[in-house]
Structure 1
């Protein structure tokens, strides 16, 4: 008989060294400046981790700000790179459990890494260049921007002061962390500190505190993270506030967009703010919070022989001002030749806030603004902008302004999603159409014209104060990767639900009575199909009640026992 102690031992043995670490991070990289090689990877930890040549090169160049940025002292920002095929791995059982209840915007990225950079540049007369320049980069598949910024803020200074053993100790601490399961208060030891965090769930209300008093940890936590990925929208977008509705449309439609800023911190935070503006929709188009001329995708993204790709790029090098003049949408944040943001707060409704045509963009033009010929489908929400402007005039705290912006974007996106979800629900077959002895019914096809007609009478205008050509916006949206991937995901979820309902109906059917009138060939076929369906529950991660599976297995046993011995033997071996 297996005791509880034996079970616990098996569970402990099943967790190999670095298994838990890999739930959160891929590795930690240290990049230094070598007089002969330039930016070079000094070491990787854990040391068994392998990176492709392309990954190593990208990390090295992205780990340092461009030389024109003038970033003295400590600088933090993040980047995003493609994973090499050799480093992509299949999702594990733990990955599935972690993502099961996670908002789609926080899902682990299986094709890209996020690099969370802590760069230090200080004068040092003992070095030939006269400067100490080094970066600590946390590489992860998780888009937890706030979380890893804070983790880097703990780990990197310790490393700079005390060397490599600090990084090793930090990584071993992370290897003891529980899996990043949504909805559960997590206690994370790190370098003598105890961190407390809670990953959001799909069911969380917007604005909910991640650690509630009821979680019985907030009062005990010396370091509690209020959010793992929240971007300060007001700080990041304050230079282009008059154009937030237009920018929301561009991100929603997956339009090519370049953000030109004076530092990697500013351009990265602006890109992430734009991407998060369409939450709870996920941005399925590529985006690079910080991009350099050394990036392996540089030629792919700067070619003039074809239309610009659907990507949002954050750049700081003035070289890009000329390279990207042909791009349709450009956001300028301050003077790219200076180390400050140069941002401004123009009146949200004044003539100064007018768009600038891309044709007027000059290579050395450094004025903050949005350069585009795009004509928005929706009008500005003047009521919201007036409310927001009052907050600016009244010196409302930046955090409150950011919350106001976040709520506005959320309401706008939800108003946009609701008609899509409502139409999708109408495509689902009625439960009475699900017959246990027939194949599960399919989802009806998405018919754009039918959907547009529904929007005209029952669209976002019923829930949103924003006016304009909603139908025209939907027509462009359904041609974008954001719609394509959203629809594929939702269709997959609905088909899984239909399959689950079909299995429930099948388990409640008297299959033994059905067998009386059937030939042995038909009965064997039924047993094999039942086995296949049960197997699909595991392989397709279908959410089916345990009682349903138990009933189906009992049905298989009863049917098999009713067959002649020779046939029964064949089925048992099959």
Structure 2
């Protein structure tokens, strides 16, 4: 189930005193959206003065550590006299180990979703809508509140757009508005790849996928306006892509959580379709439980991209190898307004001219969405040029199909040998598809040491293993099972039945196997069992 955390003190006291508060269908209110959209552990949090006062529904479980972190991450951690509304995002490490989820999940979503959109298992995403306006009725003289949507899914575009609709009404009308919204979201259909979904909420239809006219159209649930995010650092885009590819520690220092979170999210998305497998924190504060871990000088900084706004970090993180300062941080010291990139040039291996060429569109005054599309395509071509040689090499490690025989275990995938791969680059390297010149070999060598290579290799090895299992299953189906059984003992035949049943679990594992193949395996099992004595038949049918 999903949860909403609210600051209504009266509601809190009623719950604390054991009183019952009418919350509508809270036990199953957000079950549909939770399973299909927010991906479990989804909640809206409403924070005031860094106090978490109510969970909605109130049986949603957060650890004390998570509650504290959400409170601190829900407010800008920098001096800002600005009034009005602001939005930003954060990412929070789950604490307290695995716990019983509020939703049933067999992994189907992650099997169908692209790698970059899969549900996180160990982190929460937080999407914040913060309002600061003058209000003489408040002790401080200001109304300062945040509405936060927490999810395991990186749907930054969808959830921030949703908050733009909900938050202003919610600050004004509180629970009645929220319960109405939750009832509407409860009726949303599950996301289906390639389909346009119309999602009604508060009199507006949010349309995901840009196909039909609608009051509020989102071309994507997750893609940021890359051009707007990267505009101040376009001249460094090539270098930044390399740093992200290699999983290098990067700190983004920005004047606001909005700028820091968007820059971090943009950086981690620039490897698509390759998944960024390191940690990242779009917005990080001095109160975070990992603060000591990230600021210690006794060990190297972790593989992470972290966004900060508090000037205190300028000194605390000055030992980090890569510091990106965007915009003007409000501080007593005299910090230049322009972007600063510290030590980045030391890692540069490729020519950065194409990165500069992407700046030319600014002078032509193209629309931002066109600029974003060009920038996204440039980064995509760069990533593909780098990853295609790796894909070709790993495909060559797959056993030949003729080596797969029905009555033996499938052959093993050959090991990935870095030296062998490097030898292929002379004739099949990135230079075939990319105009960039430079030390590609050096880039690959450093990539092999990064979590991004480890994540890519594990995923591809898993997919290839599943493919081998599928081919083995098909080989069994094409064999003459009756002829095979003629000279086999009962023990061997029973062993075959058990192995075939194990193969049928392929249906649950979503192996790339045709439905008709699975049906034939079922028939094979029946044929084999029928050839056995009745007592054995009864035992096998029973199991």
1:185 deviation in Å?
Answer: 1.9
| Equivalent of 2:33 in 21, 31, 34 | 21
Task: Report the CA distance between 1:158 and its aligned residue.
Answer: 0.6
Match of 1:253 among 238, 246, 254: 246
What's the counterpart of residue 516 of structure 1?
Answer: 486
CA change 1:278–1:233 in 2 (3 A) is: same
Aligned residue in 2 for 1:31 = 47
1:470 to 418, 437, 440: 440
Change (3 A) 1:158 1:86: farther
SS in 1 for 2:198: strand
Distance 1:183 1:99 in 2: 16
Question: What is the Cα deviation at residue 571 of structure 1?
Answer: 2.4
Q: Deviations over 1:186-242 (max 9, x none)?
A: 221212222221xxxxxxxxxxxx333xxxxx13x2222122111122221222221
Find the aligned partners of 1:83 and 1:442 in 2 and give their Cα distance. 36
CA contact (8 A) 1:261 1:333 kept: yes
Match for residue 291 of structure 2? Answer: 298
For residue 342 of structure 2, what is the aligned residue in structure 1? Answer: 371
8 Å Cα contact 2:405-2:472 kept in structure 1: yes
| Structure 2 residue 542 is the aligned partner of structure 1 residue 543 | no
Offset of residue 364 of structure 1? 5.2
Equivalent residue, structure 1, for 2:471: 501
Does the alignment pair 1:98 with 2:109? yes
Between 1:174-183 and 1:319-328, the stretch displaced more is 174-183
- Tell me what 1:314 maps to: 307
C-alpha distance in structure 2 between counterparts of 1:390 and 1:524, whole Å: 70
User: CA 1:142/1:89 → structure 2, altered by over 3 Å: closer, same or farther?
Assistant: farther
The counterpart of 1:396, out of the listed 366, 369, 379, is 366
1:190 aligns with 2:201: yes
* Contact 1:234/1:398 (8 A) holds in 2: yes
Is this contact kept in 2: 1:46–1:171, CA < 8 A? no
Aligned-pair distance for 1:317?
0.2
**1:321–1:364 Cα contact (<8 Å) kept:** no
Q: Which residue of 2 aligns with 1:122?
A: 133
Secondary structure of the equivalent of 1:501? helix
1:365 Cα deviation after fit? 6.1
Q: Show CA shifts across 1:522-561 (max 9, x none).
A: 11111111112213x1443323222111111111111111
Q: How far apart, in 2, do the equivalents of 1:327 and 1:384 lie?
A: 24
Q: Does 1:553 align with 2:486?
A: no
Match of 1:135, SS?
strand
SS at match of 2:252: strand
Question: Are residues 442 and 70 of structure 1, via their aligned partners in 2, closer, same or farther at CA, if it must alter by over 3 Å?
Answer: farther
Q: Is the 8 A contact 1:41 1:60 kept in 2?
A: yes
Structure 1 residues 82-118: Cα deviation after superposition (integer angstroms, max 9, x where no partner) = 1234565579776644333322111111111110100
Q: Does 1:441 align with 2:411?
A: yes
Gaps of 5+ in 1: 1-14, 34-38, 198-209, 213-217, 339-361
1:318-333 aligned at under 5 Å gives the runs 318-333=311-326
Are the equivalent residues in 2 in contact too, given 1:27–1:139 (CA < 8 A)?
Answer: yes
Rounded to whole Å, the distance in 2 between the matches of 1:286 and 1:558 is 52
Q: CA RMSD in A?
A: 2.1
- Whether 2:379 is the aligned partner of 1:409: answer yes
Assess, with a 3 A threshold, how the Cα gap between structure 1 residues 399 and 87 changes in structure 2: closer, same or farther. same
Residues 131 and 95 (structure 1 numbering): CA distance in 2 closer, same or farther, change over 3 Å?
Answer: farther
For 2:210, the equivalent position in structure 1 comes to 211
Please state how far the C-alpha of 1:256 moved relative to its aligned partner.
Answer: 0.5
| 1:382 corresponding residue in structure 2 | 353
Structure 2 distance, partners of 1:95, 1:240, is: 42
Distance in 2 of aligned mates of 1:86 and 1:175: 28
User: For structure 2, which runs of at least 5 residues remain unmatched after alignment?
Assistant: 1-26
Change over 3 Å in CA distance of 1:456–1:565 after alignment to 2 = same
Q: Is the 8 A contact 1:98 1:182 kept in 2?
A: no
* 1:282–1:70 CA distance, 2 compared to 1 (3 A): farther
Q: Secondary structure at the match of 2:189?
A: coil
Q: Distance in 2 between matches of 1:447 and 1:453?
A: 10
Matches within 5 A, 1:213-362: 218-219=212-213, 221-337=214-330
Distance 1:552 1:403 in 2: 47
Which of 51, 56, 67 does residue 62 from structure 2 map onto?
51
Structure 2 CA distance for aligned equivalents of residues 556 and 180 of structure 1? 37
- 1:467 aligns to what SS in structure 2? coil
2:427 is aligned, of 457, 462, 467, to: 457
Residues 1:380 and 1:252: Cα distance change in structure 2 (over 3 Å): same
Aligned to 1:134: 145
| Alignment partners' CA distance in 2, 1:448 and 1:368 | 37
Aligned with 1:69: secondary structure?
coil
3-state SS of 1:128 partner: coil
> What whole-Å deviation, never above 9, does each CA across 1:324-365 have from its counterpart, x for those lacking one?
010000000122107xxxxxxxxxxxxxxxxxxxxxxx9956
CA distance in 2, matches of 1:195, 1:366: 38
The Cα offsets for residues 394-443 of structure 1, whole Å up to 9 and x where unpaired, read as 33333322222111111000111100111111011111111111101121
Q: CA contact under 8 A between 1:65 and 1:71: conserved in structure 2?
A: no
Using the alignment, how far apart are the partners of 2:461 and 2:221 within structure 1? 29
